[in-house]
Structure 1
Amino acid sequence: MVDQQTPVWETALVKTFGVHQRRYGTCRLQVALRENGHRVGQQRLRTAMRRRGLRALQPKACTPRTTDSTHGLRCAPNRLLDQPKPTRANQVWVSDITYLPLANGNWAYLCAFQDMGTKHVVGRTR
């Protein structure tokens, strides 16, 4: 319900907030309101949103997990600690996997293999 004292921009704020399915915070709401001709600062927006009980939904962090550290099982032993350092190529290879965030919001996985004798990366996959 809108009373007589409500500024026009606050009515536009509630409408814009609903149109964007409660996903817009003060930064994006300020831009959207300015595009509609309402000049209002972020602090005033923040205060009006708090007064009306409007809170933007926070998306869950979407970070892929490559390791489950909460399993409670023992870790695999590092069998290279007891061994002498490799003296030539192709004696010992090690590898690791990681993920890379892409600009479009997707993820790419990178796995690299390193020859411990020469310290060169001998293979990788994406």
Structure 2
Amino acid sequence: MIQTLGQVMLYVDNQEEGAQFWSEKFGFTIIAEEDNGQGMKWIELAPTTDAETTIVLHNKELIAKMDPDLHLGTPSLMFYTKDLDAFYQKLQNNQVTVGEIVEMPSGRVFNFADNENNYFAVTERA
């Protein structure tokens, strides 16, 4: 039986720039940086050091060479925040591209783009 979602793999063009975006602009902590010494490197990030789910940045080009049939598209991710307005303002202050806050049946939500123009969403959840 599955207990929790452990990691979300994001395949990116530039791992260092991706890590910089998620840590500096979004406020995530770098949990680990691993390099197997054979060209395979990954960077693991999370909102806190004890988060149940982490994001792992992988080099898209390298993964495509290793497994040409693997789907390398960006997953649709929804992040939760307790204070949507404050977080929205933080991202704007950090020059992150954000969409308008909209009211959905499930609550208020907005989207944002990472440094590679992949879009994700944030909703308010207590």
Q: What TM-score range do you get, normalising by the shorter chain?
A: under 0.3
TM-score by structure 2 length?
Answer: 0.20
Q: Which one has the largest radius of gyration? A: 1
Point out which structure has higher relative CO (alpha carbons under 8 A, 6+ apart): 2
Determine which structure has the larger strand proportion and give its number: 2
